[in-house]
């Protein structure tokens, strides 16, 4: 099975509408993902939990997301991706409603798992849709998707902290549920969901033996994502705000503003990615290695003793970390678009996404084992983040090389 250029011409008439709806759904994914970060104290008080238990409550979202990624990727190559996005977003809304009504840790954990299963059906189908619709402009479209998704992380930082202060933590989940229902139903508008690709797209899909042969070539980008994303989301989505409060004496809103800088830098880098690879014609390998280097450096300020200078460096770190993280992701997705046949692209992205969210689940829980409210405990947790970023850097160097053969292409 050889790749075809036809689906990558980027002439889909409704491509900008598709990008808008996919981005709105991914906005909600990001909002759901980091919501617990600004309500750790409230959740611990409500459910009488320890930091480790709250880490489990937060990470169950990632475990649920993780186990669904390969099935989601497999289905994205076979059914209408936009319908998958709609169903997943509606299910995430149900999970948010249930969490908002939760009275104990067990019920909250189940609700969080339902949310994770729902949002798992958004990113991989979105990337499949955008790859078909935008073709060689995929980096621009994928960057826009990630930028709008980062706005969801921003909305779950300082604005959400203010909302919680005014109306309570449960209001955040009811708000997310209402938005999810609206976006979910829009995904079923016929003009936006007219099939798995454009007219003329080949409908045959890769058989199971072909997909199994593709697994080894998906492992390298999968490991990049595991070691890149796991510590990053543990810092942004759970332990960053408590660290800034406990070690550096910030208030909740101030600490949330630092987390917002992670999202701001993600947005800027996402929107700049298309220009870097397009107008400026920088090599993806150059961008990838530079971003991986900056990601390593961004972890250093978290290891410094509390001081005014260290606090300033934490702001600088947030400005660097978010941009570096998303740039690595965008380059990895583009490598997959270029090297993997369109008929199996969803499956490969599903494998990579599985490892990505395995990192999110494992690192949130693992870092929680070190956290004890002291600077020493946080430092040990963030040393793990630094080491992981170094490992990701090594994998980036290996994967960003031009392939010596077409081993990534199904035949």
User: Which tens digit of pLDDT belongs to each residue from 165-189?
Assistant: 788 888 888 988 999 999 999 998 8
User: Which tens digit of pLDDT belongs to each residue from 327-359?
Assistant: 999 999 988 888 888 778 888 889 998 898 788
Pick the closest to residue 217 from 340, 124, 313 (CA basis): 340
Which contacts (CB < 8 Å, 24+ apart) does range 46-54 have? 46/169, 47/102, 47/104, 47/105, 47/108, 48/105, 49/105, 51/242, 51/368, 51/371, 51/372, 51/373, 52/365, 52/368, 52/369, 53/105, 54/238, 54/368
Q: Is 107:140 a contact under the CB 8 Å cutoff? A: no
Q: Is 67:59 a contact under the CB 8 Å cutoff? A: no
* Contacting residues for 396 by C-beta, under 8 A, at least 6 apart: 224, 288, 289, 291, 292, 328
Residue 203 predicted with pLDDT over 60: no
Mean local confidence (pLDDT), 72-99 = 91
* Contacting residues for 260 by C-beta, under 8 A, at least 6 apart: 154, 157, 158
Q: What whole-number distance in Å separates Cα of residue 41 and Cα of residue 58? A: 13
Mean local confidence (pLDDT), 56-82 = 85
* Contacting residues for 353 by C-beta, under 8 A, at least 6 apart: 69, 72, 73, 123, 124, 225
Identify the band that residue 193 occupies on the pLDDT scale cut at 50, 70 and 90: low
Helices then strands, each counted (H, E), the chain: 16, 0
Q: What whole-number distance in Å separates Cα of residue 336 and Cα of residue 96? A: 33
Q: Which domains does the chain have, with CATH numbers?
A: 14-197+210-399 (1.20.1250.20)
Structure tokens at 247: 């070690």
Using the structure block, give the residue that is written with the tokens 């050889």: 2
Residue 402 predicted with pLDDT over 80: no
Mean local confidence (pLDDT), 104-123 = 91
Identify the band that residue 201 occupies on the pLDDT scale cut at 50, 70 and 90: very low
Alpha helix segments (H runs only) across 120-237: 123-134, 138-155, 158-167, 170-186, 208-234
């Amino acid at each position: 099975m050889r790749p075809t250029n036809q689906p990558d011409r980027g002439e889909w008439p409704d491509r900008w509408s598709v990008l808008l709806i996919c981005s709105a759904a991914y906005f909600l994914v990001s909002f759901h993902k980091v919501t617990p970060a600004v309500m750790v104290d409230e959740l611990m008080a409500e459910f009488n939990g320890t930091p480790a238990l709250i880490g489990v409550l937060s990470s169950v979202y990632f475990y649920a997301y993780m186990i669904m990624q390969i099935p989601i990727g497999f289905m994205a190559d076979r059914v209408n991706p936009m319908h998958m996005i709609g169903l997943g977003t509606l299910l995430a809304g149900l999970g948010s409603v249930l969490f908002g009504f939760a009275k104990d840790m067990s019920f909250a954990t189940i609700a969080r798992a339902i949310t994770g299963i729902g949002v798992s059906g958004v990113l991989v189908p979105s990337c499949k849709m955008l790859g078909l619709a935008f073709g060689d402009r995929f980096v621009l479209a994928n960057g826009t998707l990630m930028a709008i998704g980062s706005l969801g992380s921003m909305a779950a930082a300082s604005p959400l902290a203010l909302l919680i202060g005014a109306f309570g933590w449960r209001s955040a989940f009811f708000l997310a549920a209402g938005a999810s229902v609206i976006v979910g139903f829009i995904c079923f508008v016929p003009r936006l969901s007219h099939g798995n690709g454009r007219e003329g797209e080949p409908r045959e899909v890769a058989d199971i033996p072909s997909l199994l042969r593709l697994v080894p070539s998906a492992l390298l980008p999968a490991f990049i994502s595991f070691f890149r994303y796991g510590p990053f989301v543990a810092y942004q989505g759970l332990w960053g705000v408590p660290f800034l409060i406990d070690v550096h004496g910030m208030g909740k809103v101030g600490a949330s503003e630092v987390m917002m800088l992670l999202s701001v830098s993600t947005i800027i880098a996402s929107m700049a990615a298309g220009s870097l690879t397009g107008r400026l014609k920088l090599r993806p390998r150059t961008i990838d290695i530079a971003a991986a280097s900056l990601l390593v450096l961004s972890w250093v300020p978290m290891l410094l003793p509390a001081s005014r200078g260290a606090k300033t460096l934490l702001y600088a770190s947030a400005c660097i970390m978010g941009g570096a993280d998303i740039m690595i992701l965008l380059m990895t997705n583009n490598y997959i678009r270029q090297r993997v046949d369109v008929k199996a692209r969803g499956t490969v992205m599903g494998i990579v996404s599985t490892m990505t969210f395995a990192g999110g689940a494992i690192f949130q829980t693992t870092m929680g084992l070190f956290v004890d409210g002291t600077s020493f405990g946080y430092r040990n947790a963030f040393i793990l983040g630094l080491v992981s970023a170094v490992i990701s850097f090594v994998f980036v160097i290996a994967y960003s090389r031009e392939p010596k053969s077409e081993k990534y292409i199904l035949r």
